[in-house]
Amino acid sequence: MGIAYGGAPLNIASGIREFARATPRATAVIDGDRTLTFADLDERASRLGNHLLASGLAPGERVAVLLGNRLEYPEVAAGIAKAGLVMVPLNPRLTPAESAYILEHSGARAIVLDGALAAVAGDHGLLATTIDGDYEAALEKADPRDPDVPVDELDPFCIAYTSGTTGRPKGVLISHRSRALTFYLSALEWGLGPGRTSAAVAPMYHGAGFAFGYAPVFCGGTVTMLRTWDPEAFLALLERDRVQSTFLVPTHAQMLRGLGEGAVARRDLSALDTLYFNAAALPWPLKQWVMAEFPQCGIHELYGSTEAGIITNLRPVDQDRKPGSVGHGWFLTELRVVDDEGNPVPAGEPGELFSRSPFLMNGYHDDPEATAACTTADGFITCGDVVIRDDEGYVHIVDRKKDLIISGGVNVYPREIEDVLALHPAVVESAVVGVPHSTWGEEVAAYAVLRDVELDDALTAELEAHCRARLAGYKIPRRWTAVAALPRNASGKVLKRELRDTIPVNEGV
């Protein structure tokens, strides 16, 4: 065997191993009144990895994980990685049919799951290890030594399935290198390292939720688990565990605001110094509320995708002077904005955003056509978003390319209308979609979550006038619907397809 030059490859289990040696008695994970030290986390991960290998799995095979945010999630992920296996996270909100598709498509041979979620997984003959069931007994019997199965850093550590907002979910192959570098740079950007406590709020079965729930532990800090989202419980968690950094999505901010004046101020949040947001753009009025309500915090707004990882970040120094922007390209990231023919567009002009970085996916599992459709020969990838870069290079998201409305041959970008509606005091949030029209092709329809008012003729006229004062006439919504909440996927993104499907074709004139 030859000499291995270049050092050890990046691996998502390596941070657990490092801090088990360096700070074995430090707290790695908090879950209510349960805690894990780094030494315990490391050993339990090794035992799980050995249990899976002893059960007949071979390195490279797939292990599904069906868990909510809880103490065991980091050790399960690390254990799978130590054994050289590949994790397939499952969303607990899936139907049995949806999870069956993912299990079959990924080729999963085993599953680690919460017994309360067994119905979601169904019965597919997989080797099952059940939390609150046989899990602890399996760990107790397993070898405590690190299995230390070698894997290349470009090998996948997981197959993360997209939400399926435009059809069948696709399996995104994410490498050890992609996420290990993301963890380290997240620690640099948002303060997740030794001596720091972060909260895992977004669901860890989703790409961003896992990255920002696992990164604190990987980098030697502490993560405290919020099992289910509740704004009051979240504030209590921040206060109790002296949380310093946390990742949120705009919906979380909306619900915190909904608690009413003084709800945040009543808590001792003096330890909290960093908030970072992703999933969808923060409407400017909501961002202003966040900055006013958490004046001690540096606010970051980042943008990315499961396929590309983190693409841009707007840092605290730019929040006031760049409203509506998601910032510059993140560390190690190149950006390209092009027209439909692939030609670069000048500053101030809309174009499709492509990025290239070490965070990119390896491709879609067993789907070369879909991989080819979103990648270029020189290694760039697109999420299908239309953006504008200003003369300083800051990125402003215009809209999803697939959400573009073409009405009478004219392009209408829904986000522009949503940003205008966010300025009206009666609107909590909105989603604008194009719906079929026999004359114009599509017409503009708005769904709005309202603040303690009814959508009657008077309010409809007021909303139309509000839009007309700020938008061209062809952008004014022709249909208005009030909803209690907008449908969202696990990452907090609005499922516009579900809204479109509720509206019949307007025959027009």
Q: Is the dihedral of CA 172, 175, 178, 180 positive or negative?
A: positive
Closest CA to 28 of 20, 38, 18: 38
Return the SS3 of 209: helix
- What DSSP assignment string belongs to 216-237? HHHTT-EEEE--S--HHHHHHH
String of DSSP letters for 439-452: TTEEEEEEEEEESS
Of 295, 276, 235, 278, nearest in space to 259 by CA:
235
What are the angstrom distances between the C-alpha of 108 and each of 56, 130, 299?
A: 13, 16, 39
427-437 sheet: strands from edge to edge: 427-437, 441-450, 479-482
97 or 39, which is more confident?
A: 39
Residue from 428, 449, 432 nearest 398 by CA: 432
Q: Where residue 167 falls among pLDDT bands split at 50, 70, 90?
A: low
Distance, CA of 193 to CA of 176 (rounded, Å): 19
Q: What pLDDT sits at residue 507?
A: 43
Q: Is the pLDDT reported for residue 508 higher than 60?
A: no
Fold of 404-500: GMP Synthetase; Chain A, domain 3 (3.30.300)
Residues 6+ apart with CB under 8 A from 475: 412, 416, 417, 444, 467
Topology given in CATH for the domain delimited by 319-403 = Luciferase; domain 3 (2.30.38)
pLDDT 10s digits, 344-378: 999 999 999 999 999 999 999 999 999 999 999 99
pLDDT at residue 435, rounded to an integer: 85
**Which long-range CB contacts under 8 A does 260-263 form with residues at least 24 apart?**
263/231, 263/232, 263/235
User: Which of 307-311, 381-385, 432-436, 493-497 reaches the highest mean pLDDT?
Assistant: 307-311
Least confident range from 73-82, 161-170, 267-276, 402-411: namely 161-170
On the question of pLDDT at 218 being above 90, the answer is yes
pLDDT at position 292 over 50: yes
> For residue range 131-144, what is the model confidence (pLDDT) as tens digits?
989 999 999 999 99
Beta bridge partners of 172: 160, 364
Per-residue pLDDT tens digits for 175-191: 999 999 999 999 999 99
Q: What does the domain layout of the chain look like in residue ranges?
A: 319-403, 404-500
CA separation for the pair 195, 429 (Å, rounded): 37
Q: Which residues of 289-307 are buried (b: 16+ CB within 10 A; e: fewer)?
A: bbbebbeebbbbbbbbbbb
Percentage of the residues of the chain whose pLDDT score is greater than 90:
77
Using only C-alpha atoms, what is the Rg of the chain? Answer: 23
Q: What is the pLDDT of residue 20?
A: 98
Q: Do domains 319-403 and 404-500 have the same CATH topology?
A: no
pLDDT of 107 reads 97
User: Rounded to whole angstroms, how far apart are CA atoms 218 and 213?
Assistant: 9
pTM of the model: 0.85
pLDDT at 163 over 70: no
Helix (H, G, I), strand (E, B) or coil at 185: helix
pLDDT digits (tens, 9 = 90+) for 478-501: 999 999 999 887 667 788 878 877
Angle (CA) 377-382-384 rounded to 5° is 140
Given a cut of 90, whether residue 408 has pLDDT beyond it is no
Residue with tokens 């950094």: 245
What secondary structure does DSSP assign to 93-161, as a single string?
Answer: TS-HHHHHHHHHHHT--EEEEEGGGHHHH-----EEEEETTTHHHHHHHS--S-------TTSEEEEEE
**The predicted structure's pLDDT at residue 437:** 78
Calpha distance 418→311 (Å, rounded): 23
Better-scored residue on pLDDT, 283 or 300:
300
For 19, 228, 230, 243, 394, the CA distances from 259, given in Å and listed in that order, are 39, 17, 11, 20, 33
Is residue 271 classed as helix, strand or coil in its secondary structure? coil
Over the chain, what is the mean pLDDT?
92
- Flag whether pLDDT at 40 surpasses 50: yes
| C-alpha torsion 454→455→458→461, nearest 10 | 150
Sign of the four-CA dihedral 183, 188, 193, 199: negative
**What average pLDDT does range 137-157 have in this prediction?**
97
Look-up: residue for tokens 């209510």?
A: 32
Query: Above pLDDT 70, what percent of the chain?
Result: 95
**Confidence at residue 6, expressed as pLDDT on a 0 to 100 scale:** 78
Contact 309, 360 (CB under 8 A): yes
pLDDT at residue 2, rounded to an integer? 54
Asked whether the predicted pLDDT for residue 19 surpasses 90, the reply is yes
Per-residue pLDDT at 509:
34
Per-residue confidence (pLDDT) for residue 430, from 0 to 100? 93
The number of C-alpha atoms within 13 Å of 340 and in the hemisphere containing its C-beta is: 1
Cβ(249)–Cβ(204) under 8 Å? Answer: no
Report how far residue 480's alpha carbon sits from residue 453's, in angstroms, rounded to the nearest whole number. Answer: 14
Residue with tokens 């707007």: 314
The three-state secondary structure class of 253 is: helix
What pLDDT is stored for residue 409 in this prediction? 67
* pLDDT value, residue 250: 86
DSSP conformation class of 345: P
> What tokens appear for 51 in the block?
């249990």
